[in-house]
Amino acid sequence: MLLLLLLLPLPLPLPLSLPLPLPLPLPLPLSLPVLLLLLLLIVLLLLPLLLPLLLPLPLPLPLPLPLPLPLLLLLLIVLLLLLLLLLLLLLLLLLLLLLIRLLILLLLLLLLLLLILLLLLLLLLLLLLLLLLLLLLIIILLLLLFLILLAMLHNLF
C-alpha cells in the first residue's frame, strides 16, 4: 500500500488568487520521494541561515564543552555522513521507482508486440487456408473439365 502511494503523483494545490493568463505552464505533479528529496535539500540549504537564529545571542567565550573538541568534530562528521547516506537512500528509492515504472512499460510493450505477432500469425494461417481452398477448387474444376472432355470423346467414338 505504501509503495502504491509512492508511485502515485501528488497534486500540487494552487493558490486561489492566480492571474488568469499563466505565462508558463504549471509543473507536473511530483511524487512523494521527489517531494521528500526537495524538502531535505531545502532544509540543508537553509540550515546555515537558521543556525544563528536558533542559538542564543550572547555566547560566553569560555563555553564549557561536555565532550572534547575532536570527539565533537567526529560526531559532526558522523552525523553529516548519516545525512548523506539518507540522501543517497532517497535517491536510490527514486531510481528504483523509476526503474519499476520503466519495467512495467517495457512489459506492456512486450505484450503488445506479442499480441501483434500472434495476430500476424493468425492472418498468415488464414491466408494459407484460403490458398489451399483455392487450390482445391482449381483441382475440382480441372477434374470436372477432364470428365467433360472424356465424355465428349466417348460420344465421338
pLDDT bin (cut points 50, 70, 90) of residue 29 is low
Residues 115 and 105: their CA atoms lie apart, in Å, by: 15
Per residue in 76-123, pLDDT (tens digit) is 888 888 988 988 999 999 999 999 999 999 999 999 999 999 999 999
Q: How confident is the model at residue 139 (pLDDT cuts 50, 70, 90)?
A: very high
What is the domain partition of the chain in residue ranges? 70-157
| HEC readout, 78-136 | HHHHHHHHHHHHHHHHHHHHHHHHHHHHHHHHHHHHHHHHHHHHHHHHHHHHHHHHHHH
Q: Which amino acid is at 150?
A: L
Residue 131 corresponds to which cell in the numbers above?
Answer: 490458398
Compute CA distances 126 → 66, 73, 83, 116, 131, whole Å: 87, 79, 64, 15, 9
- The cell numbers describing 100, all together, are 519499476
Query: Residue 76's pLDDT is what?
Result: 84
- Give me the mean pLDDT over the 10-18 stretch: 49
Q: Looking at per-residue confidence, does 1 or 88 come out higher?
A: 88
pLDDT at position 26, please? 47
- What average pLDDT does range 134-154 have in this prediction? 95
Q: What is the pLDDT of residues 42-83, one digit of tens each?
A: 777 777 676 666 665 555 555 555 667 777 788 888 888 898
What is the SS3 assignment for 42? Answer: helix
pTM of the prediction?
0.41
**Is residue 30 over pLDDT 90?**
no
